[in-house]
Amino acid sequence: MRLILIRHGKTATDNPEKCHGFTDIDLSEEGYRQAERLAARFRDEKIDIIYSSTLKRGVATAGIIAANRDVEIRSAPELNEVDFGRIEGITFSEACALYPDVGELWRCGSTELCFPEGEDFTGFSTRVSTFLERLKHHGDEETIMIVGHGGPHKILLCGLLGLPWEHYWKFRFEMASVSIIDIYGTGALLEKLSDTSHLAQ
């Protein structure tokens, strides 16, 4: 089984440093152009099904990739980005000033992190990990595309590679990037991580 992880394109925000998790913002004009680049990259490649988060930026990216080809898009709310709670819409620096205890846990990459009135890391990782059950319904020869967000992608990557959650903080998925994981009976192999070469074409 081949998994293709796509992070959505750039978003329509006045400040890319702001924390937008559950906030349902759309792609920016550049983000839509990036999604078109993604569509061009995969135009001639086999995709059996696309799973997408339910947030606008994920849905829009998946829709552009799927346009003009016979592939089903299935909604997967478990792939939605983390709920930052009261930190939604402010920057990391602002969050650290308002919630220093949270900021300290965030800085040191602790799995004890809990966003005020939002999700805690354990709940977030458990939610996203339930998506892996869906893969059991697919065959070994299928190519599955997952369109979503950086946080959930890191959870999936750790789960598939058998890494402890502490390694979550060691990965980065760029906007409109492509990552590929091949799954075999003996385990998973990371073939490509956060590739954005298609954006330079």
User: Could you tell me the pLDDT band of residue 16, with boundaries at 50, 70 and 90?
Assistant: confident
What is the rounded average pLDDT of the residues 91-97? 94
What is the rounded average pLDDT of the residues 85-93? 94
What is the rounded average pLDDT of the residues 156-170? 94
Percent of the chain's residues with pLDDT above 70: 100
pLDDT of 201 strictly over 80: no
pLDDT per position as a tens digit, 107-161: 988 999 999 999 999 999 999 999 999 999 999 999 999 999 999 999 999 999 9
Q: From CA 193, how far away is CA 173, in angstroms rounded?
A: 8
pLDDT of 185 strictly over 90: no
Percent helix, strand and coil across the chain, each rounded to 5? Answer: 40, 20, 35
Instruction: Identify the structural domains of the chain with CATH numbers, from first to last.
Output: 2-179 (3.40.50.1240)
DSSP reduced 3-state for 48: coil
- Report the chain's mean pLDDT, rounded to a whole number: 95
Q: From CA 166, how far away is CA 14, in angstroms rounded?
A: 31
pLDDT on residue 199? 96
pLDDT on residue 68? 87
Pick 73 or 186 by higher pLDDT.
73
What is the rounded average pLDDT of the residues 77-92? 96
**Selection from 183, 178, 87 nearest residue 139 by Cα:** 183
What is the rounded average pLDDT of the residues 54-77? 97
